[in-house]
Amino acid sequence: MDIPQRASPGISKIFPTNLRNGKPTLDIPTECSKDVFDIMDANGDGLVSIDEFAEGFLEFWFSEDPNNIYNQAYGPLLGGVGPRFDGIGSPPLHCTLMSQLISKMPTDYPLLTGSAHWKRKARTIFQRLDANADGYMTKEDFVITAQNLIDFLGVKGEKVEHIMNRRLELWAAIAGDKTRLSEDEYCSSCLSLVNERHFRLELCYTFICTEFNTIDIDSDGFISKEEHAAYFHSVNIPTTYSKDNFAILDTDGDGLVSIDEFAESYLEFWLTEDPNNIYNQNYGPLVD
Ligand SMILES: [Ca+2]
Ligand SMILES: [Ca+2]
Ligand SMILES: [Ca+2]
């Protein structure tokens, strides 16, 4: 490729393809590139000029604001969470702080063997999320569960789109490049994923935050009892089970589930194989 000519003296241009192609050499997932590029390209002309690049560079190094839009100029921050939320460059603060609030780090859990009990937990989630019960998890199932939630809460207007988008973000995070997943595929891909170092160090926070955000309908950073019941209803778990599970999640008993309480339950559910773990019923009674 030819080196681009300078548009005018003192102004260089970096083409988007260069930034995108350049990312893998830094070991940053390329899917992060588009969002970072859009943030860097402040005037939206499809190119990052040297002044736009300089601004990103200076904001990254000389700012200590956890919500600075350039925080993810080099991809998701370590020990924090990954991609954008609501179209901004940084995740909500409560998500960023999550890894500092949890009592046991994901890397402290031993590798999973994929015991019959663990698979039963994974199958339970699969069957909850396979809303049309056709044996495959697809985007359609996530549309159905979102619609269940919308109907249950009676929401209207912009909130409808917001709820739908959050569910579809969750599907995108689960599906990766697949368009449908069978129960066996889901269970085996979950097992290899949760044993990956990248998941334990970083990716799990993205999943936790994405899932938390699908339940925290009013985005106040806490799951209320009503939000929890609505979530259970949406994935076809009788709401009668919500009360008991909520009491287990809310370890400090303040009547709300915070991100660290949620993260703890998520990690205990996915990263343990103890048939007596108190978080086994995070998705309602286990299926047979
Ligand atoms: Ca299905
Ligand atoms: Ca809330
Ligand atoms: Ca609480």
Cα 152 to Cα 143: distance, rounded to the nearest angstrom:
14
- Neighbour tally for 197: CB within 10 Å: 10
CA of 135 to the centre of ligand 1 (A): 6
Residues 149, 231 within the same domain: yes
* Ligand 3 centroid from CA 248, angstroms: 10
Of 25, 55, 75, the residue at which a domain comes to its end is 75
Proximal ligand: closest to the CA of 257: 3
Q: Do 111 and 250 fall into the same domain? A: yes
Q: Residue 27: is its pLDDT beyond 50? A: yes
Query: Do the domain assignments include residue 25?
Result: yes
Q: Is residue 165 part of a domain?
A: yes
Question: Is residue 284 one of the residues assigned to a domain?
Answer: no
Q: Which ligand is nearest to the CA of 140?
A: 1
Vertex 113, ends 231 and 247: CA angle to 5°?
30
If DSSP codes are grouped into helix, strand and coil, which group holds residue 88?
Answer: strand
219 CA distance to ligand 2 middle (Å): 5
Claim to verify: residue 25 and residue 68 sit in the same structural domain: yes
Q: Which ligand is nearest to the CA of 226?
A: 2
CB crowding 128-153: b at 16 or more within 10 Å, else e:
bbbbeeeebbbeebbbbbbbbbbebb
Ligand lying nearest the CA atom of residue 253? 3
As a whole number, the mean pLDDT across the chain is 85
User: Residues 6 or more apart from 282 whose CB is under 8 A from it?
Assistant: 245, 249, 265, 266, 269
Answer yes or no: do 38 and 133 share one domain: no
Per-residue CA distances from 131 to 146, 163, 288 (Å): 10, 16, 18
Contact 211, 218 (CB under 8 A): no
Ligand nearest to the CA of 249: 3
Ligand nearest to the CA of 217: 2
Question: Are the beta carbons of 272 and 111 closer than 8 angstroms?
Answer: no
The neighbouring-strand residues paired with 282 are 284
Shared domain for 10 and 139, answered yes or no, is no
The predicted pLDDT at position 5 comes to 46
Q: Which of 85, 60, 56 is nearest to 71 (CA)?
A: 60
| Cα 183 to middle of ligand 1, angstroms | 10
Ligand 2 being an ion, which residues bring their Cβ within 5 A of it?
216, 218, 220, 222
What pLDDT is attached to residue 119?
Answer: 98
Tell me the residues surrounding ligand 1 (ion) with CB < 5 Å.
130, 132, 134, 136, 141
In this structure, the answer to whether residues 134 and 63 fall within a common structural domain is no
Helix or strand run (H / E) with residue 19:
helix 16-22
Distance (Å, whole) CA 288 – CA 275: 14
In the reported structure, the alpha carbon of residue 225 is separated from the centroid of ligand 2 by a whole-number distance in angstroms of: 9
Give residue 26's pLDDT: 59
Q: Is 114 exposed, middle or buried (0-12, 13-18, 19+ CB in 10 A)?
A: middle
Are 144 and 205 found together in one domain?
yes
* Containing structural domain, residue 33: 1-75
> In total, how many domains does the chain have?
2
Q: How far is the CA of 141 from the centre of ligand 1 (A)?
A: 5
For the record, the structure tokens of 31 come out as 């899917």
Query: Quick check: is 83 in a domain?
Result: no
- pLDDT tens per residue, range 104-115: 999 999 999 999
147 shares a domain with 251: yes
Task: Indicate if 126 and 229 belong to the same structural domain.
Answer: yes
Choosing from 75, 90, 117, the residue where a domain stops is: 75
Whether 24 and 154 map to the same domain: the answer is no
Query: How far is the centre of ligand 3, averaged over its atoms, from the C-alpha of 256 (Å)?
Result: 4
| Alpha helix positions (H), 86-238 | 93-96, 98-101, 116-129, 139-153, 158-175, 183-194, 197-198, 204-215, 225-234
Quote the CA–CA distance of 167 and 107 in Å, as a whole number. Answer: 27
Work out the pLDDT band at 57, boundaries 50, 70, 90: confident
Q: Could you tell me if 110 and 70 lie in one domain?
A: no
In a domain, 287, yes or no: no
**Ligand approaching nearest to the C-alpha of 254:** 3
Of the candidates 102, 63, 94, the one whose C-alpha atom is nearest the C-alpha of residue 222 is 94
Q: Cα(220) to centroid of ligand 2, in Å?
A: 5
The Å distance, Cα 132 to ligand 1 centre, comes to: 5
The ligand placed nearest to the CA atom of residue 136 is: 1
pLDDT by residue (tens digit) across 237-270? 999 999 999 999 999 999 999 999 999 999 999 9
145 assigned to some structural domain? yes
Domain of 62: which CATH number? 1.10.238.10
Has residue 18 been placed in a domain?
yes
Same structural domain, 18 and 113: no
Query: Is 11 inside a domain boundary?
Result: yes
Query: What confidence category does residue 90 fall into, taking pLDDT thresholds of 50, 70 and 90?
Result: low
